[in-house]
Amino acid sequence: MTIADLRRHNLILFEAISGSRAYGTNLPHSDTDLKGVFILPEDQFFGLDYIPQIANETNDEVFYELRRFVELLLKNNPTVLELLGTPADCVIYKHPLFEQFRAVDFLSKLCRQSFAEYAVAQIRKARGLNKKINHPEPPARKSVLDFCYVTAGAGAQPAPDWLARHGYKPSQCGLANVPHLTDLYALFIDATPGRTLGYRGLVRDAESSQDVLLSAVPKGEEPVAYLSFNRNGYSTYCRVFREYWDWVEKRNAERYQNTVQHGKNYDAKNMLHVFRLLQMAEEIAQSGQLQVRRPNREFLLQIRRGEFEYEELVADADQLVTRVEAAFADSALPETPNRTAAEQLLRQVRRAFYALA
């Protein structure tokens, strides 16, 4: 089933323009996102093939089946709640039955989690992006040897530096476990002309190895030093390196160029939504009302244009989070929406819709 099928068979209860055009933060080149609610045909609803959601290929048009819509309302999902606060100029179609759904009947203290905690997650994401932009990973991946250190007197030196200083090649080296000491190895050097001791070197392959390489050491050989492998540091580095290059591959090119162009090194669209969500959360806690069309459009667009410093925005967002927490602590909103009333409304609307079909 497609969105075109929903329209063809008159299964849509509600359809509206969502996103930046509903918030009032759209720009001339902004996409037009559509969201809506539909009802499955009666036979299909009572059958085995329940469809909770239908979207187009780009996911900028999304329609929720009535039951799924109510489930998300009960969780105070921001995207779905916002449909009930859609400005009149963004409503494309509203079935008379849909008039019974009102935001005030679903708003609760769950909005602290669904709005504010999502915003906090976006702040963390912004911090991570800021780090990626300001501390890019070089294309060449570090090797295990870059995380190995060799004892030198009372201290230690990076293994490549120690080898170069003593004129040794990694292929001359042999490592053996030191009992009871994790990731510490006795380091042996084969100085014989023909490398007769048969040491295997420090790693199997400098570019792809994930661990050091152990050798069989002839009895009586004495270590020249001890080598420590910072395994945790190497593991963390590999994760950061992989995440960075995955981000490079998958990042939205247009948004990244916008980030680079405004020179503040944060995702401006991401930070706009942080403030939008936190401000909406505070309004909900204080007034019990949902205001989708934002009254401070210019301030939000200033964020979008990169007119504020990153540190300033994050500090202001952190303060706003504190205010939101306090507002919900004092709020007269119920802890959760009334599930019994929501379920009764769901049944009532579905039955009425099928009776009209």
Domain CATH for 344: 3.30.460
Residue 345 has pLDDT above 80, yes or no: yes
| SS3 label, residue 128 | helix
In which band, very low, low, confident or very high, does the pLDDT at 260 lie, cut at 50, 70 and 90? very low
Q: Determine the Cα–Cα distance for residues 29 and 300; give it in Å rounded to an integer.
A: 16
Whether residues 65 and 153 fall in one domain? no
pLDDT digit string, tens, across residues 209-218: 889 999 999 9
Whether residues 310 and 286 fall in one domain? yes
Residue numbers of the domain that contains 182? 144-236
Whether residues 218 and 79 fall in one domain? no
Under 8 Å CB-to-CB from 265, ≥6 apart: which residues?
130, 133, 134, 259, 310
Q: Determine the Cα–Cα distance for residues 165 and 272; give it in Å rounded to an integer.
A: 53
Residue 299 has pLDDT above 70, yes or no: yes
Smallest Cα–Cα separation from 266: which of 234, 299, 307?
Answer: 307
Whether residues 13 and 160 fall in one domain? no
295 domain residue, yes or no: yes
73 domain residue, yes or no: yes
243 domain residue, yes or no: no
247 domain residue, yes or no: no
Q: How far is CA 316 from CA 172, 312, 344, in A?
A: 57, 6, 42
Whether residues 33 and 13 fall in one domain? yes
CB 65 within 8 A of CB 349: no
Domain count, the chain: 3
Q: Determine the Cα–Cα distance for residues 11 and 64; give it in Å rounded to an integer.
A: 11
pLDDT digit string, tens, across residues 154-180: 899 999 999 999 999 999 999 999 999
355 domain residue, yes or no: yes
Q: Determine the Cα–Cα distance for residues 157 and 258; give it in Å rounded to an integer.
A: 43
Whether residues 25 and 111 fall in one domain? no
Distance of CA 111 to the CA centre of its chain: 19
Whether residues 113 and 168 fall in one domain? no
Distance of CA 154 to the CA centre of its chain: 44
Residue 247 has pLDDT above 90, yes or no: no
- Tell me the pTM: 0.65
Final residue in a domain of this structure, among 177, 206, 236: 236
The mean pLDDT value of the chain amounts to 90
193 domain residue, yes or no: yes
245 domain residue, yes or no: no
Whether residues 207 and 265 fall in one domain? no
246 domain residue, yes or no: no
Residue 341 has pLDDT above 80, yes or no: yes
Whether residues 125 and 260 fall in one domain? yes
Whether residues 128 and 265 fall in one domain? yes
Across 213-217, 252-256, 339-343, least confident range: 252-256
